[in-house]
């Protein structure tokens, strides 16, 4: 137990390195721990923390006053420095005739306070949110993210860190926005939607439309944040029509949307930051020069970017092991469908009725019927024969447009929705839906940039 082993060279027990009194004390401690704790080794461990005088040397009145100053003077919205609060504490101690604590003692007392409560009182709930207790589950029987595919879906937006150029002129069009619909159970990407428009209810409706086009289904519960685009009547009507429940995440609680938020970071690090023209350099604006300006290095067109995004999200990400699942999102999705059945009653046909329900309105929900030209939507004119009616000319009619097709729009004329065609209808007519969608986005952005440059010119 204490160096009583035989020497390998001489075969004799070595001389003990401790006094007999110490050996007897160790033996007593070993037997006592073995009797009380069930393990004699614990009695031989040194109790360094119990050595010396561990009592507080600061008088109790001074300690009570210090705790009061920390709670009422330092932990306030004024966000005073520790030095300022310590000096005020010294003046208070001098008035009451008690010994003032040193600055080091005061700093250690501040450090020993609960971090969450301290940041909450000094900086508010949003700053204290990272220090809040992380609850994985409400109850032991409550699934964290649903118990089957298509039960819970998350929708969120992000502006991509990449500059795009026009496929015809090569001019910079700007940074597109991406809207994601993610299945919370399997972490699979149900649909994504790229556009140059800022987040709106149109993006939300289009990503749901893409989900039906790919999966013929919508999630039963759609989780969104508190953005105004999710409060739109059109978006809520579409969800109500297909019996989807909308749930809004609490404000400033990013963990409730971690399914989407984490995926945005993964997309940047694994995909976008490996492409030419990414905007990492703009994080430090003062260091950006012409040689590293992303607008000068941009080479990706909207069509090529969409094709690569389609490959990354639906093939590469979908077939890689997810750390939270222990398997790929595709495997988790297929296993979930096998266990919960396919629920055929939730199938949504991708037909004309569904497409009309997903058609958004422009910013101005009505447009004027110009004689001989028709209605103007997003800088393009659309025409139908009903606009020849004198009672319709020069009147404002309700308008719906198709973000996937710049060649067609719908106008509510004579108590019915009528399809109108633009000058690009013949170009888009024989193209696939994906080709028309990509060309429509690029065309609208090109027209928008032209109008902005024209209005800004002297």
For residues 180 and 189, give the distance between their C-alpha atoms in angstroms, rounded to a whole number: 7
For residue 324, the Cα-to-chain-centroid distance in whole angstroms is: 16
- Predicted local distance difference test score (pLDDT) of residue 219: 92
Residues 39 and 93 in one domain: no
The alpha carbon of residue 219 and the mean position of all alpha carbons in its chain are separated, in whole angstroms, by 19
Question: Of 357, 376, 403, which residue is a domain's last?
Answer: 357
In a domain, 427, yes or no: yes
**H/E element, 265:** helix 258-270
pLDDT at 458 (0 to 100): 46
The pLDDT score that the predictor gives to residue 428 is 67
pLDDT for 190 = 93
Whether 266 is in a domain gets the answer yes
Q: How many residues does the chain have?
A: 458
Residue 177 lies in a domain: yes
Same domain? For 185 and 312 the reply is: yes
CATH number of the CATH domain containing 91: 1.10.10
Q: Is residue 337 included in any domain, yes or no? A: yes
Contacts of 187 (CB under 8 A, 6+ apart): 259, 263, 322, 324, 325, 329, 332
Instruction: Say which residues have a Cβ less than 8 Å from residue 131's Cβ, sequence separation at least 6.
Output: 115, 116, 119
Q: Residue 141 falls within a domain, yes or no?
A: no
Are 208 and 218 in contact by the 8 Å Cβ rule? The answer is: yes
Write the pLDDT tens digit of every residue in 428-448.
665 555 666 666 667 767 767
Which range among 120-134, 331-345, 424-438 shows the weakest confidence by mean pLDDT? 424-438
- 414, 404 contact by CB (below 8 A): no
CA gap 235, 249 in Å, rounded: 17
The reply to whether 333 falls in a domain is yes
- What range does the domain containing 417 cover? 366-456
Confidence (pLDDT) at 218? 92
d(CA 161, CA 287): 17
Give the H or E element holding residue 158.
Answer: strand 152-159
d(CA 262, CA 288): 28
Q: How far apart are CA 418 and CA 409, in angstroms?
A: 8
Q: What is the pLDDT of residue 437?
A: 66
User: Looking at the structure, do residues 412 and 442 belong to the same domain, yes or no?
Assistant: yes
Say how far apart CA 216 and CA 421 lie, in whole Å.
28
**Per-residue pLDDT at 285 exceeds 70:** yes
Q: Could you tell me which of 335, 308, 309, 332 has the C-alpha nearest to residue 321?
A: 332
Residue of 62, 76, 44, 153 lying closest to 105 (CA atoms): 62
Q: Work out the number of other CB atoms within 10 angstroms of the CB of residue 118.
A: 18
Of 69, 99, 131, which residue is a domain's last? 131
Enumerate the β-bridge partners of residue 412: 417
- Is 394 part of any domain? yes
* DSSP SS3 for 51: coil
Task: Please give the tally of structural domains in the chain.
Answer: 4
Query: pLDDT tens for residues 130-155?
Result: 777 655 444 444 445 678 899 989 99
Q: Which two tokens stand for residue 226?
A: 């508190």
Report the distance separating Cα 50 and Cα 438, nearest Å.
Answer: 72
Q: What would the DSSP string read from start to end of 122-137?
A: HH-HHHHGGGS---S-
Cβ atoms 212, 350 nearer than 8 A: yes
Domain's final residue, options 305, 329, 357: 357
Reported as a single tens digit per residue, the pLDDT across 299-324 is 998 888 989 989 999 999 999 888 87
Residue 138 lies in a domain: no
168, 51: one domain:
no
């Amino acid at each position: 137990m204490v160096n009583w082993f035989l020497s390998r060279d001489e075969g004799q027990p070595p001389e003990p390195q401790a006094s007999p009194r110490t050996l007897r004390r160790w033996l007593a401690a070993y037997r006592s721990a073995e009797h009380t704790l069930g393990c004699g080794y614990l009695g031989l461990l040194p109790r360094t923390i119990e050595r010396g005088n561990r009592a507080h040397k600061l008088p109790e009145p001074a300690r009570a006053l210090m705790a009061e100053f920390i709670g009422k003077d330092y932990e306030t919205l004024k966000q005073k420095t520790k030095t300022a609060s310590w000096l005020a504490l010294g003046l208070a101690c001098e008035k009451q005739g008690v010994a003032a604590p040193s600055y080091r003692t005061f700093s250690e007392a501040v450090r020993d306070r609960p971090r969450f409560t301290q940041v909450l009182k000094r900086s508010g709930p949003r700053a204290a949110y990272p220090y809040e207790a992380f609850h994985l589950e409400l109850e032991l029987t409550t699934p964290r993210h649903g118990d089957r595919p298509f039960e819970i879906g998350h929708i969120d937006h992000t502006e991509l860190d990449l500059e795009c150029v026009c496929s015809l002129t090569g001019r910079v069009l700007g940074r597109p926005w991406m809207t994601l619909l993610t299945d919370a159970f399997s972490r699979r990407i149900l649909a994504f939607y790229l556009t140059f428009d800022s987040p709106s209810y149109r993006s939300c409706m289009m990503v749901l439309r893409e989900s039906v086009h790919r999966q013929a289904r919508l999630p039963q519960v759609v989780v969104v944040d508190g953005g105004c685009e999710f409060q739109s009547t059109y978006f809520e009507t579409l969800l109500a029509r297909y019996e989807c429940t909308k749930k809004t995440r609490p404000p400033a609680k990013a963990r409730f949307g971690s399914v989407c938020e984490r995926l945005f970071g993964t997309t940047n690090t694994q995909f976008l930051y490996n492409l030419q023209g990414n905007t990492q350099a703009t994080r430090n604006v003062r260091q950006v020069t012409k040689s590293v300006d992303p607008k000068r290095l941009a080479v990706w067109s909207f069509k090529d970017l969409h094709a690569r995004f389609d490959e990354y999200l639906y093939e590469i990400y979908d077939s890689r092991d997810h750390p939270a699942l222990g398997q790929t999102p595709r495997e988790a999705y297929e296993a979930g469908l096998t266990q919960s059945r396919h629920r055929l009653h939730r199938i949504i046909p991708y037909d004309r009725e569904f497409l009309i329900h997903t058609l958004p309105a422009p910013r101005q929900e009505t447009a004027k019927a110009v004689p001989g030209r028709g209605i103007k939507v997003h800088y393009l004119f659309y025409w139908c024969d009903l606009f020849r009616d004198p009672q319709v000319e020069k009147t404002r009619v309700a308008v719906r447009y198709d973000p996937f097709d710049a060649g067609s729009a719908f106008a509510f004329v004579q108590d019915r929705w009528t399809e109108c065609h633009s000058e690009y209808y013949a170009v888009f007519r024989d193209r696939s839906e994906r080709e028309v969608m990509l060309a429509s986005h690029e065309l609208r952005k090109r027209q928008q940039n032209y109008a902005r440059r024209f209005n800004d010119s002297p």
